[in-house]
Amino acid sequence: MAADTVDPEGGLPIPQRYWSILAIGLAITMAVLDSAVANIALPTIAHEFRVDPSDAIWIVNAYQLAIVVSLLPLASLGEIVGYARVYQFGLALFTAASLLCALSDTLLGLTLARILQGVGAAGIMAINAALVRFTYPRRRLGRGIGINALVVSTSSAVGPSVAAAILSVAPWQWLFAINVPIGVVTIAIAVWALPRTQTVPRRFDVVSALLNALAFGLVISGIDLLTRSNRAGWGAAALLGGLAAGGGLAARELNRTHPLLPLDLMRIPVFALSIATSVCSFCAQMLALVSLPFHFERSLGRSAVETGLLLTPWPIAVGAMAALSGRLADRLPSAVLGGIGLLTLAAGLALLAFLPAGAGNLDISWRMAVCGAGFGLFQTPNNRTMIAAAPPHRSGAAGGMLATARLTGQTLGATLVAIVFALAPGRGETLTLALAAALSLAGAASSLARLPSQRAR
């Protein structure tokens, strides 16, 4: 185990750097895959447990909600006890919870295990970007974040295929059990290879952590309930309670030196604009990816299998462009790269919104690839800027906000799809794609607004 703390400018020496990259990649792959594989197994699990599909959805929701409410507290804890320790805790909890998921024989037991698994995944996601920052030398940080983005996008793309392959030869329990041996190996590598960083001697703010959980948990649950006509009242009450908790958290954190909610970082213009750009882009992405299956099947007459294949060019193009944009991000301003990327995404979304009724699969595929290429060109430079804009000792908070912005945008996007579909049942798909294009343009404007304060790197 490396005892000395690592220089944030120089990164880790080789070969330790390569082992650290492997540990980071394996862990984030498992966390991202488990966001997708459970979706595929929901009908099977609901049938086996003899529960309604609407109840089985909590297997997915519990995991996502646990991640969202845990990200910022665990990022803050990483600054206090060390990023490597929190990452190893997240890995260990994720691995143990995966075993509990595989052994669960009731919906309640599986849901509780998924909550624990979500907290473990949050420990991985909240610290991921900070560890990437300390693993690579600063001059290659963009390349490192690009590789990380490639791993994430590839994991998202292959998630449904991996789940389908496992379910074709084994029961659903193996979707979770397969994490156990991989997790044990990853922990062994992480204990030796992950960078040791300087810590900040302070107390963990339990009250702020609880307010954070209430704010994010109630707001997200409230928005979800508002889309259900029979629970709109409960949704409004939860949303108001979440906003009140968020206001209390902001007031508590306003003048703290190391706030759990990183308002200190939001005072850095480049960081704040990067967060706004990220929320807009991920909201646009989710608007498109949730509505496109309906568009392909209901408007264009594609089968479910064809729809799955037609969605694939997007994540493939994201992964391919992420590696290239990582190299470019070390040389060119992210304001320009992000602006061009999101303008490209907006163009691709507009092209999809106005697809003719007789469009062929090739017509759809190249438009999807344009969207993915635009998103991939934006993502890595934007993430690099967010991480590099924060002081090294606040890398955990920056990484936590990066993940929070992504999940917030995705949650808002999915909710907006439900609202638009409810308000315009005949034109919902086209309107959501148009709204996604508009949000991409807003993100491009936010990205380009960073240009005056950026220098080519």
Q: Which domains, and CATH codes, for the chain?
A: 1-202 (1.20.1250.20), 263-450 (1.20.1250.20)
> Looking at residue 109, what is its pLDDT?
92
pTM value is 0.76
Higher per-residue pLDDT: 415 or 116: 116
For the segment 93-117, the average pLDDT, to the nearest whole number, is 93
| Phi, psi angle pair for 169, to nearest 5° | -125, -10
Q: What angle do CA 395, 397, 398 make, to 5 degrees?
A: 60
Compute the distance between CA of residue 156 and CA of residue 376 in angstroms, rounded to an integer: 13
Higher per-residue pLDDT: 148 or 31: 31
pLDDT interval class at 53 (50, 70, 90)? low
Per the prediction, the chain carries an average pLDDT of 83
Compute the distance between CA of residue 310 and CA of residue 312 in angstroms, rounded to an integer: 5
> Looking at residue 8, what is its pLDDT?
60
From start to end of 28-175, where are the E strands?
A: none
> Looking at residue 198, what is its pLDDT?
78
Compute the distance between CA of residue 433 and CA of residue 124 in angstroms, rounded to an integer: 32
> Looking at residue 454, what is its pLDDT?
57
Compute the distance between CA of residue 358 and CA of residue 444 in angstroms, rounded to an integer: 31
Q: Please provide the DSSP assignment of 290-355 as one string.
A: HHHHHIIIIIS---HHHHHHHHTHHHHHHHHHHHHHHHHHTTS-HHHHHHHHHHHHHHHHHHHHT-
> Looking at residue 6, what is its pLDDT?
64
